Structure 1
């Protein structure tokens, strides 16, 4: 009789972390990320404990943005451009969407300047996909990608 050949697991090739290490990993991840629905929930309930920053270009921001967001393109973040931002508030940054790393770059630059920052996963693309309001010259007609 032919016995089945052992199969190699790509999932288990690297052993799973301990529950403690896994908990620490995901807690740390949540400390630096948020998502569209959490941002919208806070906005709807008047929980304005964070500053929302769109790190896309001025053009993209002018065409379509989340209401209440300020614009600070990620490549322009430095001590001078952030001088008026309060360091006692968390900053939430967003970019185009999952394929854009502008939010990550903005968060890195801001945290390097001493700000507490979270990146909004999904960016304006998922903000719009979830049916949330936008403002700007083109609003809903603006492109979903940069």
Structure 2
């Protein structure tokens, strides 16, 4: 018996609803980077990590707002109704999810950047520190040189 097919695949309508729903709640580093490069405005990127993590490197243009401070400071940092994208360390961390929940509780439209800072860096995207903006080598399994996933 197939391990993959142990559970029946969802019916078409259920599958469409599920995957469309995921895309309403998630974005990825490539899409965030594309919007930043294109100068797209109308949304805010929030880094919900600690000060020490932020100092090690963050997405250029992101706003530092640790999760524990969102309820108190969000209104002063992000205009009401502005779409928010949150991120934390990476897929092994649910900090971006917790930050997204805090913004959702405050009534903000919100998405989480899946992969977080880990995948941002692994894709070789720019990282900002106090010393300036740098690019680290991309992980060839995440962003092979000269090849784009073109998704």
> Counterpart of 1:113?
106
Asked if 1:72 corresponds to 2:65, the answer is yes
Q: Distance in 1 between matches of 2:5 and 2:105?
A: 36
Alpha carbons 2:125, 2:135 under 8 Å: kept: no
Unaligned runs of 5+ in 2: 137-151
The structure whose Rg is larger is: 1
Tell me how far 1:13 sits from its aligned partner: 2.2
Do structure 1's residue 17 and structure 2's residue 10 form an aligned pair? Answer: yes
Give the match's secondary structure for 2:4: coil
Q: Deviations over 1:97-118 (max 9, x none)?
A: 1111100110111101111110
Residue of structure 1 equivalent to 2:41: 48
Instruction: Identify the match of residue 92 of structure 2 among 86, 99, 109.
Output: 99
TM-score, length of structure 1 as denominator length = 0.84
Tell me the residue number matched to 2:75: 83
After TM superposition, the score normalised by the length of structure 2 is 0.82
Q: CA deviation at 1:140?
A: 5.9
1 CA distance for matches of 2:32 and 2:135?
A: 22
Change (3 A) 1:43 1:141: closer
How far does the alpha carbon of each residue in 1:54-112 deviate from its partner, in whole angstroms, 9 at most, with x for none?
Answer: 0000121122111110111112221x211222222210001111111100110111101
Distance 1:109 1:122 in 2: 19
Tell me the secondary structure at the aligned position of residue 129 of structure 2: coil
1:125 corresponds to which residue? 118
Instruction: Work out the CA distance in 1 between the residues paired with 2:39 and 2:121.
Output: 20
Structure 1: gaps spanning 5 or more residues: 1-7
SS in 1 for 2:75: coil
Q: CA RMSD in A?
A: 1.9
- Of 30, 42, 45, 1:37 maps to 30
In structure 2, relative to structure 1, the CA distance for the partners of 1:11 and 1:141 (3 Å cut) is closer
